[in-house]
Amino acid sequence: MICTQHRTLEREAKRDKNRPLIKLYDWVAQPRAIEMEQVVPSPLMYEYRNKCEFTVGYRLVDDSVKEEMKEEEVKKEEVQITEVKKEAEEDWVMVDGNVKTEEASDSAKDASSEIKDKETTPPAQPKAFQKVPAVGFLAQGWAGGVYSPHTLQNMPNWSCGLADIFNNFISSSKVPPYDTKLHRGMWRTITLRCSLRTKECMVIVLHAPAKGGAGAKEDGSDDYTSVFEDEKQRLVNMLTKNVIPTPTRFFPENHDYEKMKKQSNGEGGEGIRVTSIYFQKFDGLSNPKPEHPVQHVYGKDCLEEKLGKCTFQISPGAFFQVNTEGAEILYNIVLDRIREVTDKPQQTLLLDVCCGTGTIGLTMLKEGVVGKLVGVDISKPAIQDAKINATKNGYTDEATTKFIAGPAEKELPSATHELPKDVPIVAVVDPARDGLHGNVIKTLKANEKIQRLVYVSCNPTATLTRDAGMLCSPPTKKYPGRPFKITKSQPVDMFPLTNHCEMVMTFDRMSKEEFDMYHGVSKHEKADEKNAVDVKPATKSKEEEHKEEVKKEVN
């Protein structure tokens, strides 16, 4: 995209001779414009997830019910019998015209016997399946049924134990799973969050309305209001009666299963209990937004997690990295990138865009690489958590930490306008998979006080490349400001056993000298400067002259 922007400006310069011709930046013209560091591995290869989301649906179970064989299968069987007959006839070898050899005769007998068996043996019946309510993953879409999470090695033991509890509950529930085609039923998804460090576990159950909904029957036969409250209480009792069970699972030899089991159970072997339960009603067709209301029914109203030197509170809809130990590695890389440019850390302000619960910004404050923090995030629950987390970690002064709830494209321009004029600024962005809004890029690029930008991306092959092109392209009317250039690119394996990687990309502002070398000064700008010097003062009006004469007389 950077090269494309240069070509566009080059074509415009040929049409308008007053427009300066922009050279391709040296760092872009290199054989490998962006140097990629080696991938930093995750501390844990297996059972690393602290958040799991399961779908409630149906699993397909073998049934003994007899069904007639499909027409296609019958034809296939007939073709196979015909081929056997043909092969048997070819095995009859003639000697001296009519005499058969003993070997050929034996072969023919075997073939005849095989044909007879084929003709007399009834065709095998195909397997029939029965739908059973279940909780798990849709490995093959809705038509393929729900699969158990136990075989997935990135799933921790506690999540599989909770899946077993839910499967026991859902198989005997008076309320059916939600049907995405008919939009009927109730149980939809289960979100699980857990901290092995604090031994806390949160459960969020997403369900459709007990009555009505998008696909409700006109006769009201799918009204579950009379049984739903009892079913909710039964589920709460099942989840909180005992510690989360540890199912039997199989892992590769390089996985210390007993160590992870001991870590899950704690030093005293007491195990992990469900400490918080929420229910969330949603009548939409896709997924609720992070700020969609939830109903707290049991235990604590949040989950507490320890990360580095900080303690963080996590609400049901707030974002938090799914790999806690991997997040510490990731944040240490961000820490190093910021430390490199903060000569006066206590005077440096960190602008944290898409800050979530404040994990990155508060970690940077705690480590002492910055002295002030301004965070922006679209999720109101996350910002509420961020403010509480600031207090939890000893930052109560708004002059030190400030968090703003709202879309970054709307809040960031005014937030940057209110930043102190006499402090150095570094920025960190950690957007969702959709990347940065164009207005966010415009604001970051136009504020030339931001000398370094650290971009943490979970979608490096798509939105990061798009945003990097806009940040590093020559200035335009829509995106003014000296461009950035990519100086470091560090992938971090936050999702082992998958094809995904997190990317920490460092952008440094192009210096004024380097910018002038490439862009120069246009003829229009030179003419404007000359005119600005040669322009004579404007002639005073008669009214102004009269006022001056009156002023002289008074004096």
Domain hosting 260: range is 51-61+129-301
Q: What is the mean pLDDT of residues 457-466?
A: 93
Helix-helix angle 359-367:324-339, to 10 degrees = 60
The residues that are catalytic are 458
Lowest mean pLDDT of 266-270, 392-396, 539-543, name the range. 539-543
User: Do the beta carbons of residue 458 and residue 490 sit within 8 Å?
Assistant: no
Question: Is the per-residue pLDDT at 69 higher than 60?
Answer: no
Closest by Cα among 154, 507, 149 to 326: 154
User: Which letter, b or e, does each residue of 211-249 get, where b requires 16 or more Cβ atoms within 10 Å of its Cβ?
Assistant: eebebbeeeeebebeeebeebbeebbeebeeebbebeeb
Does the residue 95 lie in any domain? no
Does the residue 105 lie in any domain? no
Does the residue 27 lie in any domain? no
User: CA-to-CA distance for 547 and 552, rounded, in angstroms?
Assistant: 9
User: Do the beta carbons of residue 416 and residue 447 sit within 8 Å?
Assistant: yes
List CB contacts of 144: < 8 A, sequence separation 6 or more. 60, 138
User: CA-to-CA distance for 379 and 354, rounded, in angstroms?
Assistant: 9
User: Do the beta carbons of residue 527 and residue 506 sit within 8 Å?
Assistant: no
Same domain, 349 and 411: yes
Q: With bands split at pLDDT 50, 70 and 90, how would you rate the model's confidence at 8?
A: low
pLDDT digits (tens, 9 = 90+) for 288-339: 888 889 999 999 999 999 999 999 999 998 889 999 999 999 999 999 999 9
Same domain, 366 and 513: yes
Question: What confidence score (pLDDT) does residue 83 get?
Answer: 60
Same domain, 224 and 346: no
Same domain, 170 and 263: yes
User: Do the beta carbons of residue 165 and residue 157 sit within 8 Å?
Assistant: no
Tokens, residue 196: 């092995």
Does the residue 247 lie in any domain? yes
Average confidence score pLDDT of the chain: 83
Closest by Cα among 61, 65, 63, 72 to 123: 72
User: CA-to-CA distance for 207 and 183, rounded, in angstroms?
Assistant: 11
Closest by Cα among 456, 499, 484, 168 to 321: 456
Same domain, 255 and 139: yes
User: CA-to-CA distance for 315 and 48, rounded, in angstroms?
Assistant: 20
Helix-helix angle 463-472:2-15, to 10 degrees = 40
Q: Dihedral sign for Cα 297, 299, 305, 309, please.
A: positive
Q: Which residue has the higher pLDDT, 543 or 523?
A: 543
Does the residue 18 lie in any domain? no
Same domain, 345 and 492: yes
SS3 for 87?
A: helix
> DSSP state, 204?
E
List CB contacts of 66: < 8 A, sequence separation 6 or more. 125, 128
CATH code at 189? 2.40.50.1070
Q: Dihedral sign for Cα 428, 403, 198, 248, please.
A: negative
* CB neighbours of residue 531 within 10 Å: 9
Could you give the number of structural domains in the chain? Answer: 2
Q: What is the mean pLDDT of residues 166-187?
A: 92
Same domain, 322 and 407: yes
Does the residue 175 lie in any domain? yes
> DSSP state, 323?
B
Which backbone phi and psi does 344 adopt, to 5 degrees? -120, 80
User: Do the beta carbons of residue 304 and residue 311 sit within 8 Å?
Assistant: yes
Closest by Cα among 370, 374, 366, 364 to 331: 364
Same domain, 163 and 268: yes
Does the residue 191 lie in any domain? yes
Does the residue 286 lie in any domain? yes
List CB contacts of 413: < 8 A, sequence separation 6 or more. 439, 443
Return the H-helix or E-strand segment holding 304: strand 303-307
Same domain, 186 and 321: no
CATH code at 400? 3.40.50.150
User: CA-to-CA distance for 279 and 292, rounded, in angstroms?
Assistant: 11
User: CA-to-CA distance for 203 and 403, rounded, in angstroms?
Assistant: 27
pLDDT digits (tens, 9 = 90+) for 153-169: 999 999 999 999 999 99
Sequence length of the chain is 555
Same domain, 224 and 359: no
Q: With bands split at pLDDT 50, 70 and 90, how would you rate the model's confidence at 219?
A: confident
Could you tell me the maximum CA-CA distance found in the chain, to the nearest angstrom?
Answer: 149
Q: Map tokens 């898409």 to a residue.
A: 354
pLDDT digits (tens, 9 = 90+) for 86-117: 555 554 444 444 444 444 455 555 555 655 55
First to last CA, the chain: 67
Question: What confidence score (pLDDT) does residue 527 get?
Answer: 43
User: CA-to-CA distance for 321 and 380, rounded, in angstroms?
Assistant: 18
The residue type of 262 is K
Same domain, 167 and 202: yes
Question: What confidence score (pLDDT) does residue 496 get?
Answer: 94
Same domain, 340 and 418: yes
